[in-house]
Structure 1
């Protein structure tokens, strides 16, 4: 069978970012069921490995924002995690509070694949804020869960951690996976790099049309398109913040027989948005015209309607 992400299509696939967060709490079965109800192509979800090697669907390293209980999810056991509940009132991360119909529990990845894996395409993001050798076996355990589910043709896996991706590929050869790129990922490299890039004359590129010195963005675009990390982890897909994608990015990856995903349109949490002034309707049109293979969004119903007008 052909993996569903690679099937022929006349528009980008629409993936609900963490489900359908306008209707239900992020990364919950209720949100994933809503995606099925809306006819969304798929979902993006986040996973962590617990202390006892279970793969749970959850976004934050710390549990307090979503559950009201302090803790580090990677240091907890599944028994401890299973007793938590995602609150009805949630701070989206930027101080905006939203209220949902009911509390929700934290699911295991295997539960999501069992219930939704035949109805939705799923991008499993192995959550990482930086590469961490000690957490590399998250990839091993995610591979185990995918293999046991029999849903390999409906999933891909992405991560900001190439150690996890290497272990995933080793444990499950043939899985479609890839490195993820974020517009702010150079910020952890130190002030010296930021100072250097801003001191140099700004490169004249498509990405330089925005106000201010965009050399950091230009460097990230160069790293993205060079695909050095992708070659290292045997990537077949790449996931990139939409602001990093210029007019030839998709073409370069398609020439390598790789897919390109973009995130996140119509975002609800705007803390880390690289360009807050972008018109997301126009951006949806731009990305579709460039031929991106999927787009992740916090408002999948709206994006589906927009893309329907283009086909």
Structure 2
């Protein structure tokens, strides 16, 4: 009996160690600007099979082998942080009203709806629950969290996940340093730059010179824009490139839908022509299958 308990204990330690190592490996790929593979980000978790921003959506992304899960943060009337994209409860839960006007205990009585707006058994998680749930298993990109980042960081410290979180934003170099300077040794910050803006190139150069970011999230509406190809060369060896394939106007039409009919013309174009090494998708399993067929993901 004692021998069995010992074996189970050692197995548990091995599994825990493996999980911790997986997050460390993903973070290392980011920090080293690894070009040999593509990092996959699941938008709001695997929301096609579970409600968006739910613990179960995070779990399924982990099972698939996704590297990063993107989650959205809102704050309740009593100052608690929860996972929710919208500022209201109407679309994704069985409740109604502004989240900022409703207390956490009331929200926790609700149930999440799935992508078809059907009630499920799943509940709205707090940010703390989500961080603990993802700890050691997957990197986390927190969206909308910059509005209360001091509070968010306190939860990261409490849960031991300060080196597991990615933040992105459209703020200037000066603003980023002033707002997040104390946190940037742990938290990975990625600037978001719209390549259709006339000052996009100078903005990228400023960030590279002053902050040397791990990656940039880039946006452009049409692939007639010459800047994405130019930026690929400018950022080579300096910063990774992140594109969103959620809808067509985010990556010049080379989105998930286009990839369904021709993945080489969708995902492949962003990877090969534009140098993308991070892709955020609403179809994580489909993207993973494509990347694995090209030996660009484990």
Is residue 144–residue 171 contact of structure 1 (8 Å, CA) maintained in 2? no
Deviations 1:178-201 (A, max 9, x none): 333468xxxxxxxxxxxxxxxxxx
Is residue 243–residue 250 contact of structure 2 (8 Å, CA) maintained in 1? no
CA distance in 1, matches of 2:129, 2:229: 39
Structure ID, larger Rg: 2
What's the offset of the Cα at 1:285? 0.7
Q: 1:232 to 1:306 in 2, by over 3 A?
A: same
CA distance in 2, matches of 1:179, 1:81: 32
For structure 1, list consecutive stretches of 5 or more residues without a partner in the other structure.
91-96, 128-135, 184-216
Deviations 1:233-262 (A, max 9, x none): 88543223365871132443455x433321
SS in 2 for 1:66: coil
2:270 aligns with one of 259, 270, 287: 287
What is the TM-score with the length of structure 1 in the denominator?
0.68
Give matches, 1:224-263, under 5 Å: 225-227=204-206, 236-241=214-219, 243=221, 246-254=228-236, 257-263=238-244
Residue 213 of structure 1: aligned partner: none
What's the offset of the Cα at 1:26? 0.8
Is residue 140–residue 171 contact of structure 1 (8 Å, CA) maintained in 2? no
2:141 pairs with 1:141: no
- RMSD of equivalent CA atoms: 3.4
Q: How many residue pairs were aligned?
A: 256
CA distance in 2, matches of 1:137, 1:284: 32
SS in 1 for 2:198: helix
CA distance in 2, matches of 1:142, 1:168: 13
Is residue 244–residue 251 contact of structure 2 (8 Å, CA) maintained in 1? no
Give matches, 1:24-63, under 5 Å: 24-63=50-89
Judge which range, 103-112 or 277-286, deviates more: 277-286
What's the offset of the Cα at 1:149? 2.1
What is the TM-score with the length of structure 2 in the denominator?
0.71
